[in-house]
Structures are given as C-alpha cells and as structure tokens.
Amino acid sequence: MKINRYVDISTIDREAKKDYIDRHSPFVHCDAKTLKGQKFTVKVKLGDEYVHPDDFDHYIAYIQLWNGEFMLGQASFAPGTLGNMPGHAEVDFHIVPNKNLKLTAMAFCTKHGLWQSEEVLVEVE
C-alpha cells in the first residue's frame, strides 16, 4: 500500500493541491520534552487549514500513533462520527514514556488511502 506524505508532492503541485494534501495529512502536536514515567499527552489532528469530509463513502477510518516501528495506539471512526459534517478528526493519546520518542501518526481515508505525518522527536528526561 502506498503511504502518502505531505512532503511527497512537489512544490509546484503543492499550491494547487494544498487543500487535498492538508485535509488528509495527520499532524502530531505535543511538547518537545517530558518526564520519564509521567503521563504525556499527544494530540493527532487531521488537517491543519482544511477540513475533511465525513460522508458515508468518504471519511477517516482510523488514526494511529507510532513510536518508530511500534504502534502505541489507534482510534477508529465510523462514518458520521463528525456529524456528517466536514471537520478535523483529532485524537488525544495518553502515554507514559520511559525513553526518547520518535513519534509519527498515520491516518486512513476511505477514498484516498494512507497518510503519514512528519516525525516528531520528544526528549524524555
């Protein structure tokens, strides 16, 4: 399965396809540092500027949070989760890290496939 990334599209195509790329790209939001053994919140939000449809045949089926090759969690959605209105699907994951993190998020659109975020590094003290 092809994995789509925000940076996969050339600069020329990016402006023309920004709404398509943005609405499908997951973004990881969290602090850059945390304490070992303490609960740490990581928000994954789909889209930055543009909202994604929530139709029966076109919706976000799941959002995953990964630390390197290890999946930390997944949230699954049914069509209509966002009230059948376009919106930003988002999930708060609460983890307790014991070492530095290399976080990425994956999101699956039922019409446009799998999308991956940029990697976010978190220092655990």
pLDDT at 2: 81
- Asked if residue 100 lies in contact with residue 124, where contact means CB atoms within 8 angstroms, the answer is yes
Query: Which among 103, 110, 111, 114 has a CA at the least distance from the CA of 44?
Result: 103
Tell me which H or E stretch contains 106: strand 101-109
Q: Structural domain boundaries of the chain?
A: 3-124
Tens place of pLDDT per residue across the chain (125 aa):
788 877 666 665 766 677 788 899 999 999 999 999 999 999 999 998 889 999 999 999 999 999 999 999 999 999 999 899 999 999 999 999 999 999 999 999 999 999 999 999 999 99
Residue 8 pLDDT: 62
Quote the CA–CA distance of 85 and 10 in Å, as a whole number: 30
Tell how far CA 5 is from the center of its chain.
11
What CATH code is assigned to 3-124? 2.60.40.730
